[in-house]
Amino acid sequence: MLNWEINPGRPALTQVSGVTDMDAACAWLETAAPDLRAGLHEYGVVFLRGLPVADSADVARIREILVPTRTPYREKATPRSDFGNGVSSSTDLPPAQSIHMHNENSYTLTFPGLLLFACLIAPPVGGATPTADVRKVLDALPPRLVERMKSSGWTLTRNYSEYVSLDWRTAFATDDPAKVAEYCAENHIAMEWREDGSLRTSQLRPGTITHPVTGDEVWFNHMAFWNEWSLEPDIREAMTELFGSDGLPFNTGMGDGEPLTREDVETINAAYAAATVRETWQQGDVMLVDNILATHGRDPFSGDRKIAVVMGEPVDVLDCKPSVLPAASAV
């Protein structure tokens, strides 16, 4: 049995001792895998410290043991670097930009059930990857918000641009508009080509689902992350003035058509904050995240930082008792 260190405000962590090379690390992981899975189901996130992980090739070896089934990054929303062998950078967004809490690919019909993060270069200042147990988030939210979400789901509207966020070619990994249309039709996404050649999409997704193994109901969405009220006030004002509220790169709402208020979004973000834990990265650290039970984000940082990520164990949202069935929504 693994010995988990449980401290307030920090994820469950185990110190790995006596492992000095990757052959020994892989042998240890093979033996520890059942305990790691049990820890994930209990805590949502587990942190491993003391493994000799130095580069993306080492991460790929770990992936083969812990995350053998890959999940592609669909409907891309942030730039990432491909390190090969199913390993990529966690994100290439600017260091000063924080990333709000989210369940990876919560807006897709098939999403990764398991995420693996590995620290190859630890930043000297900031740069933690905070996580939050979304069982606790769900319990902390006001019943009125939870019931709205359960009954109506949430909507995501995206405007793809070469100047802000990602263009449609990058997001859908194709230069062919016909393939974009085919993907959107298959994945319940409404789409509209604008006069300037840009693309606008909209989709309805469930905001609460049930973990297919543990049976836990969770708050599972990008709704607060991509809502206009989560933007810094000056950025929101500038972008709304430039693009209009309907032209923002991302915006979200409840499926009932009633707009989210600033107070609603602040309430959701406060629930995330109350459930958030973080650990300062050290070179060689590995963090496993059950993507259904926990969200993740990123703190701003300075200096060099290199965090590799692996996404795997694909899960179909229909296997998670979604409170609302996925559907295309009007653009």
22, 122: one domain = yes
Backbone angles phi, psi at 64, to 5 degrees: -60, -30
Do 225 and 122 have their domain in common? Answer: no
Residue whose C-alpha is closest to residue 48's, from 102, 57, 59: 59
Residue 77, judged by CB atoms within 10 A of its CB (0-12, 13-18, 19+), counts as buried
Each residue of 173-191: b (16+ CB within 10 Å) or e? Answer: eeeeeeebeebbeebebbb
**Same domain (yes/no): 247, 196:** yes
Distance CA 51, CA 58 (A): 10
121 shares its domain with 149: no
Query: Residues of 57-72 as b/e, b for ≥16 C-beta within 10 angstroms?
Result: ebbbbbbeebbeebbe
Token output for 57: 């090739």
- Regarding whether 141 and 262 lie in a shared domain, the answer is yes
- Structural domain for 245, as ranges: 136-269+323-328
Q: Residue 232 has what pLDDT? A: 86
Measure the CA dihedral 218/171/325/102, to 10°.
10
**Model pLDDT, residue 48:** 98
264 and 180 together in one domain: yes
- Whether residue 242 is found in the same domain as residue 169: yes
What pLDDT score was predicted for residue 255?
95
Q: What is the pLDDT of residue 323?
A: 96
One domain, residues 37 and 140 = no
Residue 330 pLDDT > 80:
no
Q: Which segments of 153-259 does DSSP mark as H helices, in order? A: 168-172, 177-186, 233-243
Q: Output the pLDDT for position 241.
A: 85
Per residue in 144-157, pLDDT (tens digit) is 999 999 999 999 99
Tell whether 5 is covered by a domain.
no
Q: Are residues 157 and 229 in the same domain?
A: yes
Closest CA to 22 of 54, 64, 69: 54
Give the least confident one: 174-188, 225-239, 290-304. Answer: 225-239
Q: Is residue 88 part of a domain?
A: yes
Query: What band does 331 get if pLDDT is binned at 50, 70 and 90?
Result: low
**d(C-alpha 271, C-alpha 134), whole Å:** 9
CATH no. for residue 73? 3.60.130.10
CA separation for the pair 122, 306 (Å, rounded): 7
Residue 1, domain member (yes or no): no
Q: How many domains does the chain have?
A: 2
Over residues 299-310, the pLDDT tens digits come to 999 999 999 999
Q: Residue 2 falls within a domain, yes or no? A: no
**Digit-coded pLDDT (tens) for 225-281:** 999 999 888 888 888 888 887 889 999 999 999 889 999 999 999 999 999 999 999
Q: Which two tokens stand for residue 89?
A: 């950078």
Same domain for 69 and 118: yes
Is the full-model pTM beyond 0.85?
Answer: yes
In terms of domains, do 195 and 86 share one? Answer: no
- Pairing assessment for the beta strands 12-15 and 45-49 based on DSSP bridges: parallel
Q: How far is CA 258 from the centre of its chain?
A: 25
